[in-house]
Structures are given as structure tokens and as C-alpha cells.
Structure 1
């Protein structure tokens, strides 16, 4: 005696669908999800952040900015 009589059971089909969606989600997940990968800051971005935090003075910021821009 067979439980499904050769037919695909309803709950069994639902589990297959859930697994297929889960596996597809893993392989096709977008790579640009926020906070997933660390973004490499440019030297100017780092300098701006240090100035905004008050780690360096305006004069140091301007001098460093000229040096960074002259390298490019």
C-alpha cells in the first residue's frame, strides 16, 4: 500500500518549491547588498572623515588635500 498512490503529495510539492527558491536565492543574490562588502575609501574620503571628526585642523586638511590632489 502506497501513501501517495504514485502521485506527488501536496506538502511534498510545497517543500520542493521552498528548497528550489532557497537555492535560487543563494545563487542569484545581488552582490551590492548594503554592508555586505566593505567599500574601499579613497584617500580624500578618509581625509574628509578625519576633518569631520575633528582629528585634524583646517590647515592640516587643506595642506593634505593639496598633496592628495597633486598626486592625481
Structure 2
């Protein structure tokens, strides 16, 4: 699998995933319903794609944010 995400993109995804997880777990804003689980799924996908370095949506669109790939 090739990398199509740059370091800044990966870092931003990790930061956004942490923020979403904090909102889901640390506040009562989302409750415990569907929004809570949706937020956890989005945070999980962002974390997974940040660690792997490949985004399926980027592959479909043909976007690459890394300079050396």
C-alpha cells in the first residue's frame, strides 16, 4: 500500500481525532446515542488513516498531500 498523506496531514488527523474523542468521552455534549458512536467511528478512522498514511478517499479522488510519494 502506498502512502498518499503527508506528515502535516497525518498530524492534523491525529489532532482532530483526539479532539473528537475528547468531545465524545470528556463532555456530555453528544450523550450516549448515535452521535457518540458516530464520533468514535470518525475518530477511529482518522487515527487509523493517520498511522497507515493512506486515505481511501484520497486514492479515489487522486489527491496526494505528501511531497515525496
TM-score range relative to shorter protein: 0.3 to 0.5
Higher relative contact order (CA 8 A, sep 6+): 2
Which has the greater radius of gyration? 1
Structure number having the greater helix percentage: 2
- TM-score, normalised to structure 2, is 0.33
